[in-house]
Amino acid sequence: DVFMFSLGNTQIVHVTQPEMVREITTCTSLDLGKPTYQARERGSLLGNGILTSNGPFWAHQRKILAPELYMEKVKGMINLVQDSALTLLSSWNDQIEAEGGIADIKIDPYMRSFSGDVISKACFGSNFSKGKKIFFKLRALQQASSKTVLSTGIPGARYIPSKNNREIWGLEKEIKALILKIVKEKRREEASATSENKDLLQMVLEGATIEMTTQNAIDTFIVDNCKNIYLAGYETTAVAATWCLMLLAANPIWQQHVRDEVMQICKGHEAPDADMIRQMKQLTMVINESLRLYPPVAVISREAVKDMKFGEINVPKSVNIWTLVTTLHTDPKIWGTDSYKFNPERFANGIRGACKFPQVYMPFGVGPRVCLGQNLAMVELKILISLILTKFSFTISSKYVHSPALNLVIEPGHGVYLSLRKL
């Protein structure tokens, strides 16, 4: 349940004991933060944004961003989520017709395009064409950064001008320039924006000027948080949708169950609204089970800023604490003997009824550092999957090779291919 290991000069305590996990993840003290190596080793990708920062600086960022992603604000984004989903459906429809009624489609890029479109419109008030370049380059940066995982903790490894590091440095420069270009355009529009129609980028701009004194610090604050929002809101939702559709394709009985429920709730409507989404119990169970088996984030990690104590364990300053989400999500002692099987029925009575220790179910993290975008992510998943189910039936394509891979998020190593036909 508890053991220690090292990555280079980074000391890590691994914890899966449920009570200790709860104590660590719900700890509100600013003395427990995100690992400093993340900002150091993943600086090009994450900088010192909300995902990696600590202490009062993190609290300031959270205060700016959190209210923009409360459920009431998310309800106002439902139309743009519907629009983005209908664009995807139309594209698949054309492909199926062109291929004579059934098409083998690699769904991953479509899921990314959908979530990228949503996050770009919701947070930056721009359409996907403006954000497309940034997404493309961030994806390349993410892949380049994931290659450096094994050198984490090796002093100076990130300064060596290797081919991979040079690629990282180049992408970092380009992404910064692209984000600051959008910021410049946004500042021109700023004067005409009322408090009602401010988007997330405008809130970040205001937060930067409150906290920072130099232009360089303001730019860094904006770029880091834009990258964090893109990565947190784009990659994780896309990969969650991909895994969920794969599991529905592999389990036709559940696919039909959920389709029947959606058809019943949405009859006569082109797309579900907030009230309809709330009624989709079977779909919620399927999404929860999919996130249990394939949580986008593999590890919840923390670092003691000062000497701390959890349970009977003393954690010295600078020591990291890791909790492997996938291990906790599939532990037979917590979930029962079918812990590795797809069984949405386990969530029939919600998360509390699904397992012995509800605190170990953490697809969005837990405690003060819980994912701010979880409401938006769930709305996106429900709207997209419900719409796909009303228009298409699908099975796993013979081209699909099951190979989950850790590329900062847990994603299909070779993509997910589905055979789709129109209903």
Are 377 and 319 in contact, with CB atoms under 8 Å apart?
no
What number of other Cβ atoms are within 10 A of residue 354's Cβ? 22
CB atoms within 10 A of CB 77: 19
Q: Which residues are annotated as a binding site?
A: 371
Q: Are strands 320-324 and 10-15 parallel, antiparallel or unpaired?
A: parallel
Q: For residues 341 and 269, what is the distance between their CA atoms, to the nearest angstrom?
A: 34
298, 406 Cβ separation under 8 angstroms:
yes
Helices (H), 76-214: 78-98, 108-124, 128-146, 163-190, 200-211
Largest CA distance in the chain: 65
270, exposed or middle or buried, with CB in 10 Å at 0-12, 13-18, 19+? Answer: exposed
Annotated binding-site positions for heme: 371
**Coil, helix or strand at residue 8:** coil
